[in-house]
Amino acid sequence: MDRFHIPVLLEGDLLSVTRRVRGVGPRAFLTCGEGQARGFWARGRRWVAHIGVLQETAVLPGDAAGDRFHAVWEALEGVRARLSGEKARLYGGFSFRVDDQLDPVWNAFPPARFILPEAELEGGRSDATAEELLLRVWVAPREGEGPDAARARAETRLDELAQAVESGGGGESGGPRAPEGLSLRTETDRAAWEAGVEGVLEAIAQGAVEKVVLARTLDVTPPFRVDPLEILDQLRWANPMSHVFLFEPDPGACLLGAAPETISTLRKGRFEATAVAGSVPRGETPEEQSFLARQLLGSRKDRAEHRYTVEEMVRRLAGRAHDVEAEEEPHVLTLSRIQHLETRVTARPRSGETVLSLLEELHPTPAVCGLPRDAALVFLREVEPFQRGWYAGPVGWADTEGDGVFVPALRTAVSREGVWRLFAGAGIVDGSDPGLEWEETRIKFQPVLQALAASGAP
């Protein structure tokens, strides 16, 4: 398929033109954007994909890191000033924390990076049939060009893009395929990692921390290039209940994953998030799955770990929102390989709050960091022998009205020069067993590992 490129136009106002297209999925659309910035965000049937860059906002190492959430909001306000009664979204994310220097694997992913895309394709809307998709292109008129001429030019380009997408094929994968070749794997040393867990348990016994989420890595080097869109297809196919995402701000630099929870969702004045902490395997049979779920609900250790996350989220929201409520009892969230305790948290934000300001207050939650937050951050910086980068950082989108959706970059991998680095973590609390926590991280590697294997790179 020929690549479709839209010129980056940074001057003037922004116009949008839309078109309904039938029988087109995100794979065909994203393939048209190969060689450009691309992204994809989905949960269940709802999804949005984007290609190209009209405007980019980034906070680099050494910048005013404390203002990175506000810097993205200022960029959105600048975009809003160029619109005429329309909304626009910036897509991207934030690193877990701000590091002075970046590990090379994270070169394309600074402390914050967001893109205003040239084209968006949205599917699974409740007001459209499954085969009707919304296509959007943002255009900045050239100097001296009137609105009518600019809109006509945008319509012409939209026609060309729609034709390229509709004629390009690129259908979604229907499931795993036979693997080929052999990949090289390098993972965190188990003895060293379990020693880190013991260090956390000692700190807990001394009262220095209550919980620390300790992560480890697994590097996979396939013998050939693996198409990230193929991995994305496999992730979606195998993880329909997760928030599946892909963000490729530079060609070949790709972050993807399947997060089980949301950190900050704001729509029309209503905030929602999910606290997810505590886990057991899914089980090989319905009976085993049900048994393990009951075991999880009755586990003092897992209930305590979960309670830390819920209580801390409610406490932090109290200063920025009214009517902060959490479900009285957690329920079990069953995913493809693992089951978690989950509690829904809702609130009505105070005037002036945005999805980004609420996100700044909540991140990092005890589910991805620990408690107390500052003590856990210090512990992680000293113990983890790698940079987290965007792992466990918030990824998603925010719009010009302050609404948006952000999830933590979990069950995730980042690619650079043919190597895929996977991340997985486990919450260490009083009563944690190092061997069982290692097994939990092994299970959490599985979504991306299986997607890589199904893409031909076992």
Looking at the annotation, which residues are catalytic?
211, 261
**What CA–CA distance (Å, rounded) separates 270 from 353?**
11
Where are the strands (E) in 52-107, listed by range? 55-59, 89-94
Among all chains, which residue has been given the structure tokens 């020069």? 417
Decide: 245 and 257 in contact? Cβ < 8 Å.
yes
24-63 burial code (b ≥16 CB/10 A, e <16) = bbbbbbbbbbeebbbbbbbbeeebbbbbbbbbbbbbeeee
E strand or H helix at 249, and its extent?
strand 243-250
Decide: 88 and 111 in contact? Cβ < 8 Å.
no
**What CA–CA distance (Å, rounded) separates 73 from 79?**
10
Q: Which of 20, 15, 18, 52 is nearest to 151 (CA)?
A: 15
Measured in Å, how far apart are the chain's first and last C-alpha atoms? 27
> What type of residue is 367?
A
**What CA–CA distance (Å, rounded) separates 386 from 375?**
18
Q: Which of 303, 239, 182, 259 is nearest to 44 (CA)?
A: 239
> What type of residue is 315?
R
CA distance to 100, 114, 284, 387, 437, per residue, from 95 (Å)? 12, 12, 36, 10, 24
Per DSSP, the residues of 154-171 read HHHHHHHHHHHHHHS--P
